[in-house]
Amino acid sequence: MSSAEVVLRVRDLKKHFPVHRGVLSRVVAHVQAVDGVSFEIRRGETLCLVGESGCGKSTVARSITRLEEPTAGSIELNGVDITALGSEALRAQRREMQMVFQDPYSSLNPRLSAGDIVGEPLTNFALAQGAELERRIAALFEHVGLRPEAVHKYPHEFSGGQRQRLGIARALAVNPSLIIADEPVSALDVSVQAQVLNLLIDLQEQFELAYLFVSHDLAVVEHIGHRVAVMYLGRIVELADNADLFGAPLHPYTEALLAAAPSLETGARRERIILQGDVPSPMNPPSGCRFHTRCPFALPECKQTDPPLLEVAPGHHVACLRRPVGGDGAPLTTA
């Protein structure tokens, strides 16, 4: 896996939103939605971004596709730096990078037929027209498990799961190397969610797609991710292979997230770390380690020192002062 070529390389990505106040709408502060995020995704690989609402995971996805203009950092798609490309050059690069959205209802234009929606990317890049266009749309419908006759239907005639299949077919139309999926199953019922996850996995194997999969649902992430990055307040706090992250999480926040996620194990209420309090405002993030205000294991120096994301074990990156390089990974104790 690690020998495959890098499809997406993100370096030190930042996105700060200005906050306007007053009559003259002066900029009074910045929301540091994403504050220095770096990672790579290789061909055929799924990298999951996981975190609570407001952690910046969706902003990362939107900045990479430049639906939001990044404040700083660089984004390389198949070796091409797209961070500062002009609109036409960027448009050409979009062929390699397609998006699947969260809401299968509002992400499809209600006035267009299903066939027109799926065929739009093909028309945009002048890849097919006439009978060839129709043939390719029909093929795409089959790939995502929709009946080709459905091309003439309108979005409201489909169920939520079928609509999400349409969204996936649209993303797949131009044979991209990367698909960015922003919470693609969180609006769906569990049984439908399973259908869509299965489809995404099948398509990845078939087309060697790279996925950036944004989700808040740890069970989904554990199911679909090869590597997982946990975000907290605009930063990646832990990045590791799926088995390492779920089997031996090193960051206290990751541990707390895993403990909080409900599982199907019943019986005695599980012993768990329940984080107290809420996520602090990204407008005014805590000093030092951003997690120290809620961390049960915080040391006094956590308030001052901002821990860098270090590779403490092969492929396992953590940003925590209590997890030095070459550490033993033993459970932390409260100081």
Partner 1 sequence: MTSTTSKAAAAPAALNDETILSVRDLRTHFYTRDGVVRAVDGVTFDLARGETLCIVGESGCGKSVTALSILGLIPPKAGKIVGGSIRFDGTELTTESESTMRRIRGNRISMIFQEPMTSLNPVLTVGEQISESLRIHQRLDRRAAWDRAIEMLALVRIADPKRRAGEYPHQLSGGMRQRVMIAMALACNPQVLVADEPTTALDVTIQAQILNLMLELKDRLGTAIILITHDLGVVAETAQRVIVMYAGRMVEEAPVAELLSHPKHPYTRGLIGSIPRRKPGAPRGRTRGRLQEISGLVPSLREAIPGCAFAPRCGFATARCTTEQPPFEAHGPRHYAACWEVARVEAKSLSEPVGSEA
Partner 2 sequence: MATMTAGPTAATARSPAKGALTWARRNKTIVGGTLILLALVVIAVLAPWLAGDPLQFEPTNRLKRPSETFWFGTDQFGRDVYSRVVYGTRISLIIGLCVAVLATFIGLVVGVLCGFYKTVDTILMRLMDGMMAIPAILLAIALITLMKASLFIVIIAISIPEIPRVARLVRSVVLSVRGRPYIEAAISSGTRNWRIMVRHILPNTVAPLIVQATYVCASAILTEAGLSFLGAGTPPEIPSWGNVISLGRTFFQIAPWIIFFPGLCLAITVLAINLVGDGLRDTLDPRISRRM
Residues near partner 1 (CB under 8 A) are 52-53, 159, 189-195, 197-198, 201, 216, 218-220, 222-226, 241-244, 246-247, 256-257, 259-267, 269-270, 272, 274-276, 278-279
Quick one: what does residue 305 bind among partner 1, partner 2, none, with the CB cut-off 5 to 8 Å set by partner type? Answer: none
Quick one: what does residue 67 bind among partner 1, partner 2, none, with the CB cut-off 5 to 8 Å set by partner type? Answer: partner 2
Neighbour count for residue 185 (Cβ, 10 Å): 25
Quick one: what does residue 63 bind among partner 1, partner 2, none, with the CB cut-off 5 to 8 Å set by partner type? Answer: none
Name the pairing type of β-strands 316-318 and 97-100: unpaired
User: From CA 274, how far away is CA 176, in angstroms rounded?
Assistant: 41
User: From CA 151, how far away is CA 115, in angstroms rounded?
Assistant: 4
User: From CA 78, how far away is CA 97, in angstroms rounded?
Assistant: 10
Give 29 or 194: the residue with its C-beta nearer to partner 1.
Answer: 194
Neighbour count for residue 116 (Cβ, 10 Å): 15
**90, 82 contact by CB (below 8 A):** yes
State the DSSP H helix or E strand holding residue 229, giving kind and residue range, or none if neither.
strand 227-232
Tell which positions 15-74 bind partner 2, by CB under 8 A. 65, 67
For 232, phi then psi, to 5°, come to -145, 125
CB of 267 vs partner 1, minimal distance in Å: 6
Residues in contact with partner 2, shown as a per-residue x/- string from 83 to 112 under the rule CB under 8 A: ----x---xx-xx-xxx-xxx--xxxxxxx
Quick one: what does residue 121 bind among partner 2, partner 1, none, with the CB cut-off 5 to 8 Å set by partner type? Answer: partner 2
Say which DSSP state 324 is in.
Answer: -
CB of 219 vs partner 1, minimal distance in Å: 5
225's tokens: 């991710």
Give 139 or 243: the residue with its C-beta nearer to partner 2.
Answer: 139
Which residues of the chain form contacts with partner 2 (CB under 8 A)?
65, 67, 87, 91-92, 94-95, 97-99, 101-103, 106-112, 120-121, 124-125, 167, 170-171, 173-174
